[in-house]
Chain A
Amino acid sequence: MRSLALIIAVTFSLGGCVTLPPNVFLVSPDQLARRPIETRRYDGIKEESLLVASANVLQDLGFTLENSETKLGVLTASKQRDAADAGEIAGAIFVALLTGQPTPVSKDQTIRVSLVVRPVQATKDSKPVDNHFVRITFQRVVRRTDNSVYAQTLDDKELYEGFFEKLSKSIFFEAQKI
């Protein structure tokens, strides 16, 4: 009986079956808490101008625009960057000294972003003009020195604050026609 359990355990671990985590499609309290971090409201600017200002910020940051649907306020962009991290390399050297085995470290990354503009109240009949939310999500796909890949959603609050600061500036430039 024990050997049967062992057999099943070994075979399943070889198979590496992945299952969907429970409730992955229900909005969790953590995800709700992310909403204000990833969203800013901009009043007194047309959706089109807000999208232009946003595209300009993404260009300022060196992103390449991949997709856009202006009728739905969607912009998608990405950029490739170095991913080497001094702390991670130091750690890898330390581990390598201890074990004699090289440890793969982050090499390069693709940073992806989706930016969505939506009217504060999106109904056909009562469209209030010029009040919009901008919501942005950053992800990165990192390649290590052994060519293995991992991906993550970026949740650093300061990163989002920094972006919206730049967007506010860009909107100012847009308004001043700079």
Chain B
Amino acid sequence: MNKRIAVGILVTSVLLFGACTATTKERVLDIGDQSQLQRRSYQTRTFDTNDKEKVMRAVISTLQDLSFVVERADLLLGTVSGTKYQDRLTIRMTVSVRPRGNTQMVVRANGQLNVKPIEDPKAYQDFFTSLEKSLFLTAQIGE
């Protein structure tokens, strides 16, 4: 019986961890099971405003509301990065803001949890919901 348990643990370990091991190249260029387009679509929202500074200040406020320490911001590049510590978790986020045409701003967020990318669209949906409240504007899905 003990032998069967040991073999069982070995087999499930190989199955579980086998999927996790990857080469350095795969880790640098990892995009998970999703396509680039899929990833962009749930990480991106469009807002009807041409005021980049206003959107960026709202992004910073939202990150602060969510207990992030804002580490970097660059108005020209349109990027904001921050880190949050919660229990044993470290969450890092980068949010970029860029104009589309003369009337809209495209906001894109991407995050990581400890050593893994955040790939749950619900997390990004929640982030944009929080941003909407801070910006008093409705987020439109996609670019």
Q: Chain A interface mostly helix, strand, loop or mixed?
A: mixed
- A112 close to B69 (CB less than 8 A): yes
Interface size on B, residues (CB 8 A): 54
Contact A6 B75, CB 8 Å, known A21-B89, A116-B60: no
Chain B residues with CB under 8 Å of A114's CB are: 64, 69-71, 82
Residue B94, interface by CB 8 Å: no
Chain B residues with CB under 8 Å of A23's CB are: 126
Chain A residues with CB under 8 Å of B133's CB are: 27
A-B contact count (CB 8 A): 133
Interface segment out of the listed B22-30, B34-42, B48-56: B48-56
Q: Looking at the complex, which one of B17, B66, B83 makes contact with A27 (CB distance below 8 Å)?
A: B66
Q: Looking at the complex, which one of B64, B70, B88, B130 makes contact with A38 (CB distance below 8 Å)?
A: B64
Contact A25 B85, CB 8 Å, known A18-B116, A67-B71, A113-B69: no
5 A-B pairs with the lowest CB-CB distances in the bound complex, closest first: A25-B126, A151-B85, A25-B127, A69-B73, A71-B75
Interface size on A, residues (CB 8 A): 48
- B51 close to A72 (CB less than 8 A): no
